[in-house]
Amino acid sequence: MFHVEHYDVVVIGAGHAGIEAANISEKYGLKTALITKNYSDLGKLSCNPSIGGVGKTHIASEVDILGGVICKIGDKSAIHYRVLNLSKGPAVWGVRAQIDRDLYSQNMKKFIKSSKIDLIEDEATNILEKNNKIIGVELSNIGKIKSKAVILTTGTFLNGKIYFGNESQEAGRIGNSSSKALAKFINKNFKTMRLKTGTPPRIYAQSINYDVLEPQISENNGIFLSYFTKQNTNKKINCFITKTNNKTHKIIRDNLDKSAMYSGIIKSQGVRYCPSIEDKITKFGDRNGHNIFLEPEGLNSDLVYPNGISNSLDKKIQLKFLRSIKGLEKCEVDQFGYAVEYDSVDPRELKNNFETKKIENFFLAGQINGTTGYEEAAGQGVYAAIHAAIKIKKIKFNTKVFERDNSYIGVLVDDLTKLGVTEPYRMFTSRAENRLKLRTDNSYERFSTIITPKAFNKAEYSLISKNIVNEKKILDQLKKLKYSPNNLMKKNIKVKKDGKVRNGFEVLKFLYPSPNNFYQFFNIKISQKLLTKIYFDSKYDVFYEREKKSFDQLSKNKNMKLTNIDFNKIPSLSKEILEKLNKHKPENLYDAGKISGITPSALFQIVKHKKDKGKKVA
């Protein structure tokens, strides 16, 4: 018996991936259901109460411009802002907002309720398919519901297990039971792996002695998470910084046998860039102290998130080492830190559109694909939903915007589906070859071919359109202005005396980029935000060209397909190289070249083998 409703898309899991997926799918006109185990969990920030940061903001800004919600709701719920890398140029600026957990959940719930998404509170227990094609989902209470596509975004819940020291319990995260029935289906059909992450304890604010600690005050740069945010009127809070010390280190070192990760109970792969305090002290024990950022969980919350000391130690030891830290001498703990181990799917089970290779119209997004982080999850939710819409509804969409030289989402998708993961994957700006171009301040430009009124409300859409028109107008004006080297010398700008006449856009990079200065020089009015953007466009112009060239170089042979090649038949490939090729199964030559340790000569060899084979068949 099927439930009456027939959906285009059912999204399982209302975390960061699920919400974005449901939202996009609804905006593109698909009939959408969003299923979550607990209504109260909707939009829960399972780990730290902050959104953004270097690399993460980059993905979030793309989600934002694709019509996603993480940035908008993030800004609405933000109570502290900082911009990282402000001294380094906008390509790597990373705005980070501390988020009030409760506000975020409330705002998210309000948003989902106001949409046409059907929110269903139930546990998905099975995926229904016929001849390797999705027909629906089975829920624990409601039973079966029909759907053309399913997007699975269950995060850390598949066979999730959490650990405090030697204690462990089955759970997707603290307070949430793990999804075992669904895990069975996934493990039966796909290659999975066991990954691990951790979270620090939560401390009562009143038990902290702030007087002895250094505060971090919220910055006010007018830089927000979302392109559309004009201001944030929430009250702002301070964060505080403290440090571990030698006493702390000794307590931890003496009790490593009481850590789930170090006693050998947990065997799965943790994250190198999110090390537990046990890791930090084992690997970098020579340091005098490791920073801890005390981040209040909200305006009305009495809890504080101590960023930097995620661990899986025995609860007693946790309290002991916490109390050895300045300002935390009398601290009381609400919730102890723990590690969580869970099943995730090898993302190479996915096609480039995030549909599984095995089951048609079955999409996976979020942490289940081996990533970590809210923003990474959100990006995947949007990506999967767009591709579901392309598949189910044949919407027109230029998927070129998702190539790795145009977007971080593209980099993420490419890395995941081509290389797979050995540890939870997080975005870094250095993963992008085209970093100078993939900036948060130009995402609207990179995605301009697919910006559509469907994805936004009227005010938002008219804001983007207006800005784009305005920018074009200013650029046209600039490009009409001409300057000879002599001309520029007179204006105190030193350029090579190459006789080259430069236009205003080309001259811009020699100016100090303030609106005042700009007005004096060009007699054009401009906002600081737009000026910063086009100033760096002018400055990076030559590098865009260069980047493009080297990308083209790589691209020349990149499409040579390697899917039906048996690398073992190439006699002269070294053992190590064979192992790597067999492990990563690159789809084409370009991907093969990206695998660590694959030499140009190995690539020659592959090409040669491939051509030989072709010759014999012919």
Partner 1 sequence: MFNEGTIYANITPIVKSPIIGYRISGEDVLFILKKLTNKNFKNNHSLLKLVDLYNYDGTILDKCSVVYFKSPKSFTGEDVCEIFIHGSPLIASQLEKTLKSYKIPGFRIAKNGEFSYRSVLNNKNSLKQAKAVNSIISNESFSLLEYNKRLLFEGDKVSGLAPLREEIINIFSEITASIDFVDDEDFNFKNIMKKIRFFFNYCNNLLHKNRTKIEQKSICKIMLIGAVNVGKSTLFNKIIDKDRAIVTEIKGTTRDFLSNLVIIDGKKFELFDTAGQRSKQGKIEKYGYKRAQSLSREIDHFLILSDKNTKSVDLKQLFYDFSVKNNYSLIKTKSDLYNYNTKDIKINHHLDRDNVLKKIKLSSIHKKYVNNKKIELNFDINEIEFLEDILKYEQDITKEKDILIIAQLIRNILDDFSYEFGYINNEDIYDRVFSNFCIGK
Ligand X SMILES: Cc1cc2nc3c(=O)[nH]c(=O)nc-3n(C[C@H](O)[C@H](O)[C@H](O)COP(=O)(O)OP(=O)(O)OC[C@H]3O[C@@H](n4cnc5c(N)ncnc54)[C@H](O)[C@@H]3O)c2cc1C
Structure tokens at 599: 């030499």
Q: Are 408 and 432 in contact (CB under 8 A)?
A: yes
Q: Given the complex with partner 1, which of 44 and 609 has the nearer CB atom?
A: 609
Q: How far apart are CA 358 and CA 208, in angstroms?
A: 53
Q: Are 112 and 19 in contact (CB under 8 A)?
A: yes
Best CA proximity match to 321, nearest among 250, 240, 256: 250
Minimum gap (Å) between residue 230 Cβ and partner 1:
27
Structure tokens at 382: 């949007």
Q: Given the complex with partner 1, which of 111 and 336 has the nearer CB atom?
A: 336
Residue 33's SS3 state is strand
Q: Given the complex with partner 1, which of 37 and 56 has the nearer CB atom?
A: 56
Q: Are 27 and 44 in contact (CB under 8 A)?
A: no
Total interface residues for ligand X by CB under 6 A? 37
Residue 467's SS3 state is helix
Work out whether 585 is an interface residue with partner 1 (CB under 8 A): no
Residue 53: other Cβ atoms inside 10 A: 21
Best CA proximity match to 95, nearest among 60, 69, 63, 67: 60
Minimum gap (Å) between residue 165 Cβ and ligand X:
15
Q: Given the complex with partner 1, which of 69 and 99 has the nearer CB atom?
A: 99
Work out whether 522 is an interface residue with partner 1 (CB under 8 A): no
The DSSP symbol for 77 reads T
Q: How far apart are CA 351 and CA 368, in angstroms?
A: 15
Work out whether 390 is an interface residue with partner 1 (CB under 8 A): no
Q: Are 268 and 168 in contact (CB under 8 A)?
A: no
Q: Which of partner 1, ligand X, none sits in contact with 539, Cβ below 5 to 8 A by type?
A: partner 1
Work out whether 311 is an interface residue with partner 1 (CB under 8 A): no
- 577, 586, 589, 591: which one contacts partner 1 (CB under 8 A)? 577
Q: Which of ligand X, partner 1, none sits in contact with 179, Cβ below 5 to 8 A by type?
A: ligand X
Work out whether 101 is an interface residue with ligand X (CB under 6 A): no
Residues in the chain: 618
The DSSP symbol for 125 reads E
Minimum gap (Å) between residue 11 Cβ and ligand X:
9
Residue 63's SS3 state is helix
Work out whether 458 is an interface residue with partner 1 (CB under 8 A): no
Q: Given the complex with ligand X, which of 16 and 76 has the nearer CB atom?
A: 16
Residue 610 buriedness (CB in 10 A; 0-12 / 13-18 / 19+):
middle
Work out whether 92 is an interface residue with partner 1 (CB under 8 A): yes
Work out whether 293 is an interface residue with partner 1 (CB under 8 A): yes
- 184, 243, 594, 613: which one contacts partner 1 (CB under 8 A)? 594
Work out whether 290 is an interface residue with partner 1 (CB under 8 A): yes
Best CA proximity match to 276, nearest among 258, 295, 261, 297: 261
Best CA proximity match to 328, nearest among 217, 237, 241, 238: 241
Best CA proximity match to 369, nearest among 323, 333, 415, 403: 415
Residue type present at position 50 = S
One DSSP character per residue, 271-294 reads -TTS--HHHHHHHSTTSS--EEEE
Work out whether 327 is an interface residue with ligand X (CB under 6 A): no
Q: Which of ligand X, partner 1, none sits in contact with 505, Cβ below 5 to 8 A by type?
A: none
Work out whether 156 is an interface residue with ligand X (CB under 6 A): yes
Work out whether 599 is an interface residue with partner 1 (CB under 8 A): yes
Contact set for partner 1, span 254-273 (CB under 8 A): 271-273
Work out whether 602 is an interface residue with partner 1 (CB under 8 A): yes
Work out whether 57 is an interface residue with ligand X (CB under 6 A): no
- 23, 32, 36, 605: which one contacts ligand X (CB under 6 A)? 36
Interface with ligand X (CB under 6 A):
12-18, 35-38, 41, 46-47, 123-124, 153-157, 172-173, 176, 179, 182, 197-199, 274, 340, 366-367, 372-374, 377
Residue numbers of the site for partner 1 (CB under 8 A)? 48, 54-55, 84-85, 88-89, 91-92, 94, 271-275, 280, 283-284, 287, 290, 293, 307-308, 310, 428-431, 433, 435-436, 539-540, 543, 546-547, 550, 571-574, 577, 593-602, 604-605, 607-608, 611-612, 615
